[in-house]
Structure formats: C-alpha cells, structure tokens
Amino acid sequence: MLRSASRRHPSPFRVPGAVGALASAALLVPLLSAAPPAGAEVPEAGVLQGQFARAAARQGVPESLLLAVSYLQSRWDAHGGAPSVTGGYGPMHLTDAVTALARSAPHHSDGAEDARGDASRPIRDGDRGDGPVAASAGPSGRLRTLERASELSGIPAEELRTVPAANIEGGAALLAAAQREAGLPASADPADWYGAVARYSGADDSATAAAYANDVFDVIRTGETRTTDSGQVVTLPAAPAVAPATGQVAALGLRRPAAGPVECPASVPCEWVPAPYEEFGDGDYGNHDKADRPVSQSIDYIVIHDTEADWDTTLKLVQDPTYVSWQYSLRSSDGHVAQHVPLKDVAWHAGNWFVNAKSVGLEHEGFLTSPDSWYTEAMYRSSARLVRYLAARYRIPLDRQHILGHDNVPGTVTSTIKGMHTDPGPYWDWAHYFRLLGRPITPSAGPRAGVVTIRPDYDANRPVYTDCATAGQACAPHGSGAVRLHTAPSSDAPLVKDVGLRPGGQDSTTGVNDTGARASTGQSFAVAERRGDWTAVWYLGQKAWFSNPVKEPSAVNARGLVLTPREGLAKVPVYGRAYPEASAYPAGVPVQAVSPLPYELLAGQRYVVGGRTPGEYYFAPVFDPSGHTVVRGQEEYYQIQFGHRVAFVKAADVRVSLG
C-alpha cells in the first residue's frame, strides 16, 4: 500500500459509497476491465468544469493550463477509476504502477505464431517469442506520481484514484510543486508554466518533455470542447496568442535521448534503441532482415500494433535477438518514441511476409482486452505525427487501406488465418486518430452512394464484447470504433460466419478477439442493400448487415473504386499475399505457392479497391543480405477490403468501376 499523508480534517472530495465500491483488487492490472462504480450517479451539468476551476484557484495554477494537461492525459475522462496502460488514474492520469502493470503475455508470445510470416525460412523456437520474459524493475518516478500527489495534497491515495475532484486537485498540486521547485512564481499566465508542464510529463529526456509541453500549449491555443465519459461537457476556450517560455525546459536537467540513426520528424521525441541483427550459427539469426527499401521495394503500409506489455518489457523484448522486431515503440504516458530497425530494413511484426516486406510497424504501449486502460492523447498525437511523416516520406495514402491495424493484416494461407493477431482491437479510436492525421472521416457522396465508410460515434457506440478478463463474461461497457455484422437486418440475427476462422461453419461470436463479423472505423465496403435503419455490405463473400439509422449513423456515404469478377467468371479466388507467378522466379529461388484463402468472391458481389500492386516476393532466408533477392512478376493484384482484414485478387480476374 502507498503511504498517504495524515490530515486533520475530512476530505472535501469524498463521495459516500463511491470509494468503497472499488476494492483494491480492482486496481491490480489494466487487463482487468473495470466498469464505473455500481450505482454511481451522473454529476449535474458543469460539475467537472467547476472542479477544474476550483482546483486551479486553490493551487494557484492557471485554469486553462490544468485543463490542457488533463486533456492531453485523459481527454477529461475518469474511466470509472480504472488504470490506464501505464497505471495512471483519473482525469489527471496520476500514476500508481506498483501493482497496476503486471502482465504475463507480451504481444508476440503465442507459441504458434510466426511473426515473420515466410515459409522459406522455417520457424524456430526463438522466432515465436515464447521464451521467458524478464520482469521489469520497480516502476520509475514517472509511474508513481499518485504517491507524490498524495503527499502534496494530503488526499489519500484511494481518493486520488477514484474521485475525479480529488484527482484533479492532486494533479494541480503536482503542477504547483513543479513551478515552486523551479523557483518560479505562481503566475496567472499559462505561458510562464512551460517548464512545470514539461516536468509533469514524467519524461526523463528533454526532447520528450518539450514535445509533451508543446502539445499542451497547442491544446491551449486551439481550445477544446468535449463530452466526457461521465456525460459532462468540458470546454477550454482557445487562446491563440499564448507563447510559452520554451527555454525553461533546459533548467530541468533532463538527459538527451540516446543518439543514433533515428528517422523521426523534429516534432516527435525519438531515441535509438536498436534491435539486434545477429547470427546464431547453423543458419539461424534474428531479429529482422537487412534490405534496401524503398529502392528494392516500395513501402506501402504502416501497421498499428499494441504491445500487450509495459514499456520496459517492450524494450527488453525488441533487443532480444531471439525475439521478433518492429520499427518503432511508442510510450503511452508521454508519447515518447524509440526506433529499433532502420526503415530501409524489414522487421518481423505482422505475421505476413508480403506485408512485412512492404510496411513499417508501430507498437503502442497498451492492452487490447482492457477497454478502460486508455491510450493517452499524448501517445495518439505523437503517433499521428510520426505516421504523417512516414506517409509523406514514402507517399503512403492516409487511409485505412494503407494505415492498417495488425488485426487487418490477412493470413498468408488458410492454415495461418486462425493465428493472426487481433490488436489494436475494437477500443482503438480510429476516428480520433484520423482527425489527428489531418484526414477526418467525412461523407464524400450522397445518400444513395454505392460505398459506405464505417464511422460510428466512438463514445456512444458500445457493443457488448466478451472475454476481456474472463471467458464468456462481458467486458466493461466502453466506446468502440467497430460495428457488428449480422446475417439479416436485425440485432437478433446471427452474426456472419468467417470460414477461415471457423472451418466448421459456426457463427462468429462477441469475443473481443473475434474479428469474424466486425467492421472497423475507416474501412470502406460496397453497399449490397439498404433496408430502413440497416445497411448491408459485401463481406467475406456474403451479405452482412449492420445497424445504420439516419439519426445516429454508423457509417458515412462515400465514393470509390470497386471491383467484381469479370464477365464469364462465377467466382474468383482471394489471396492473403500478392506473390509473383512461377515463371518469374530465377534459379536458386524457390517458387512460392500462390495459394488461395478459403473464401470466394462471387459474381455480383463488389469490394472496395485499396490499390494495385505487382506480384512481389522478397527472398531473404539467410543472414547475409548479399543473397537476398526481390522477385517481381508480371501478374498484378488489387488489394480489397474483403472482411475485417484486407485481401488480394488478381487484376486479370476482375473488372473495376466507380462505386
């Protein structure tokens, strides 16, 4: 238990019954989904706004500054007292990670997984990532700010975790203390608090602290209004003239990020933590491949992952030559970025070698099955800046056909479909992410459009998921960017089937990791039928219905290219990778099978086109890159949004038209 300072008077923030409703067991791990306290009442309008104002006044902190810091941490949500992925609580994200970060299954820990996704190099035990994971040392000060806030404010730790007003007061106390410790007055001008904000980030390097502070002041300048998870409308008026004293960060005595060949924009705090390229003997090596991208092959995709591990464990794993690799890791608490693999090289992260060879992998500190273990605004913003930079550098379209979740990457062949990963899952806020990317998902066609793009209201859209903490049990209610797909226009109708996941023909389920009947924000599908408040789209070779009422739509109308089997073909095969024809392979390079997946694209069905690509295969089964070869054929493919995952069809098999 954390020590709390003794106090002479009862806490003004205690809410009868609210604290006791959350036992300490609910604080153990972010993978345990915590619902709001039972019987909790929604506060009256304006209560949360007033709590920020009063805490700011009591602690001598500018109200706009307090609001902006909280927005960057939690977007003013309280999450029912559940901890974030880094053990942060409440609107101010006060961290108490002594017990909150226990986790036993990092992202690539499935013993059956081949994250490389290439049969030309047989999977070895080390490649699976199923070895022991070294435990992290005790949490750093960055992950123990709740204890410090308790000492400063005199508020017990449990109240700081569970009572929003107390949490806000504790965060304000931390900011005020940082300003005092810097020898600066409690100015009413937020511009004088740049150093205190940088200190609040908890970052141990100057670049991350400065980037965090810059984001806070960007929020102050632009302003924000949002309805929180407790139904409260909070407003921060824009103050575009605020010009912070950025030189204050130099006085904090923070380290500089580790030097190295980082490839990040100036706006992203980035350090070099290299993944090893190491030979073990007997032809075995890890944990990535040397290449010469984009000279050898174009980079067409950015793949969004979550780590399923805390930050320290994530860094240990990617530096293990027997594990797998990815290009970047992003820290939730402050948006800090570590690069591990040069962009020209191929990391082993997506489970599909065609995608790996043409993508960049970003791992975000987080837990898929913990809906209230939220990603901070700081990490979303840092990630969006990095993705914008990568997209501009490699001319990658900023759309959901090219900015993929790991859960959108297809299995390579039928046998690998079941083993494909499901992160970042239904709780990643794609709509918000694409707003940060500067590509908000908006209508581009009228009500009779032949294409729709999924875009439910994230906060209001709360489909029931199961299996987050316990098999068969419902996850905590939470906003989601995904919609369910049914066999008929009724919520009582069975969910559509995925014969790749369930060859026996069973229905899909509501499991949080079951992607068989799920469409996600930003994905575009061809309309098959409209009936009242329901819309049907073509999905995995079948007609799939989702609720899409006019007053509360789950999708926007769009236009785009669609394809269907060419005349004379009753159906065409669907592939999980776009490999060349057999005649394209030179001597010494084994021909890779062009093996169709167990789905059918039937005549009369239409699917949205994501792009056209030549058949390519990167032959890299050995350590020495001098023997690596890119095989490129004459056969061309179209990428399509076929189900929750993308797929490929041969260009010669289809005809393309405007949807």
Indicate whether 442 belongs to any domain: yes
Q: How confident is the model at residue 24 (pLDDT cuts 50, 70, 90)?
A: very low
How many structural domains compose the chain? 2
Residue 149 CB-density burial (10 A; 0-12 exposed, 13-18 middle, 19+ buried): buried
Q: What is the pLDDT of residues 458-514, one digit of tens each?
A: 999 999 999 999 999 999 999 999 999 999 999 999 999 999 999 999 999 999 999
Which has more pLDDT, 100 or 88?
88
Task: Please state whether the predicted TM-score (pTM) of the whole model is above 0.85.
Answer: yes
244-277 residues labelled b (16+ CB within 10 A) or e (exposed): beeebbeebebeebeeeebbbeeebbbbbbbbbb
Residue 522 in contact with residue 608, Cβ under 8 Å?
Answer: no
CB within 8 Å of 218: residues ≥ 6 apart: none
Model confidence at 45, pLDDT cuts 50, 70, 90, reads: confident
pLDDT value for 214: 97
Question: Stretch 553-579: mean pLDDT, rounded?
Answer: 98
Helices and strands (DSSP H and E) totals, the chain = 11, 28
Q: Residues 110, 111, 114, 115: is their CA dihedral positive or negative?
A: positive
Nearest to 349 by CA among 364, 339, 340, 361: 361
Q: What is the CATH number of the domain that holds 460?
A: 3.40.80.10
Please give the residue that has the higher pLDDT: either 518 or 26.
518
Q: Peptide bond before 424: cis, by omega within 30 degrees of 0? A: yes
In a domain, 80, yes or no: yes
For residue 614, the model assigns a pLDDT of: 96
Res 9: pLDDT: 39
Q: Which of 98-112, 124-138, 579-593, 597-611 is the least confident region?
A: 124-138
Q: What number is the average pLDDT over the span 237-253?
A: 97
Q: Quickly list H helices, 118-163.
A: 145-153, 157-162
The first and second tokens of residue 489, run together, are 């226009």
Q: Do 232 and 263 sit in the same domain of this protein?
A: no
Q: Cα–Cα–Cα angle for 338, 344, 345, nearest 5°?
A: 75
Whether 184 and 202 map to the same domain: the answer is yes
| 477 and 523 both lie in a single domain | yes
State whether 361 and 436 are in the same domain. Answer: yes
pLDDT in tens, 290-338: 999 999 999 999 999 999 998 999 999 999 999 999 999 999 999 999 9
In a domain, 643, yes or no: no
Alpha-carbon separation of residue 543 from 151, 335, 606 (angstroms): 59, 41, 10
Provide the domain limits for residue 179.
Answer: 24-101+137-252
- CA distances to 207, 245, 333 from 250, in Å: 10, 11, 21
Are 268 and 408 members of one domain?
yes
514 and 445 within one domain: yes
Position 58 pLDDT exceeds 70: yes
| 90 has pLDDT over 80 | yes
User: Given this model, what pLDDT does residue 294 score?
Assistant: 98
Give the whole-angstrom CA distance, residue 563 versus residue 601. Answer: 10
Q: Look at residues 252, 273, 305 and tell me which one is the last residue of a structural domain.
A: 252
Query: Position of tokens 């007055």?
Result: 185
Among 530, 564, 598, the domain-final residue is: 564
Burial track 401-410 (b if 16+ CB lie within 10 A, e otherwise): bbbbbbbbbb
- The stretch 630-640 carries a mean pLDDT of 98
Q: What is the mean pLDDT of residues 88-102?
A: 81
| Residue 278, H or E segment | strand 278-281
* Mean pLDDT computed over 18-42: 37
Residue 294 lies in a domain: yes
Is 449 in contact with 457 (CB distance < 8 Å)?
no
Higher pLDDT, 275 or 122: 275
Query: Is-contact 404 360, C-beta < 8 A?
Result: no
Residue 624: inside a domain:
no
Using pLDDT thresholds of 50, 70 and 90, give the confidence band for residue 525: very high
User: 217-234 burial string, b = 16+ CB within 10 Å, else e?
Assistant: bebbbeebeeebbbebeb
For the chain, give the percent of residues with pLDDT over 90.
81
CA 411 centroid distance within chain: 20
Same domain, 383 and 245: no
Please check whether residues 242 and 280 belong to one and the same domain: no
Out of 252, 285, 305, a domain closes at 252
Q: What does residue 544 show for φ and ψ, rounded to 5 degrees?
A: -125, 130
- State both tokens at 29: 């791990």
Is 9 within the bounds of a domain? no
DSSP string, 388-454: HHHHHHHT--SSTTTEEEGGGSPPSSGGGSTT----S-TTS-HHHHHHHTT------S-TT-SEEEE
8 compared with 194, residue with greater pLDDT: 194
Residue 73 pLDDT > 80, yes or no? yes
Return d(Cα 498, Cα 596) in angstroms, integer: 15
pLDDT, tens digit, 9 for 90 and up, residues 106-147: 677 665 567 888 877 765 554 544 444 444 445 566 789 999
> Does residue 610 belong to any structural domain of this protein?
no
Q: Does residue 249 carry a pLDDT above 70?
A: yes
- Examine the domain organization and report whether 552 and 411 are in the same domain: yes
CATH of the domain at 35: 1.10.530
What separation, in Å, do the N-terminal and C-terminal C-alpha atoms of the chain show? 60
The answer to whether 98 touches 144, Cβ cutoff 8 Å, is yes
Q: Are residues 418 and 444 in the same domain?
A: yes
Which amino acid, 133? V
Q: Report in angstroms the alpha-carbon separations of 341 from 250, 310, 360.
A: 30, 20, 9
For 172, the enclosing helix (H) or strand (E) is helix 164-181
Q: In terms of domains, do 309 and 215 share one? A: no
Return the SS3 of 159: helix
What is the model's pLDDT at position 260? 87
Q: What is the mean pLDDT of the chain?
A: 90
Tens of pLDDT, residue by residue over 214-234, are: 999 999 999 999 999 999 999
Q: H or E element: which one contains 329?
A: strand 328-330
Query: Is 409 domain-assigned?
Result: yes
**What mean pLDDT is predicted for residues 181-207?**
97
Query: Distance of CA 147 to CAs 5, 20, 102, 337, 476, Å?
Result: 9, 20, 19, 26, 27
Q: Are residues 130 and 142 both part of a single domain?
A: no
Q: Which residue has the tokens 């040392």?
A: 137
- Give the integer Cα–Cα distance in Å for 172 and 556: 41
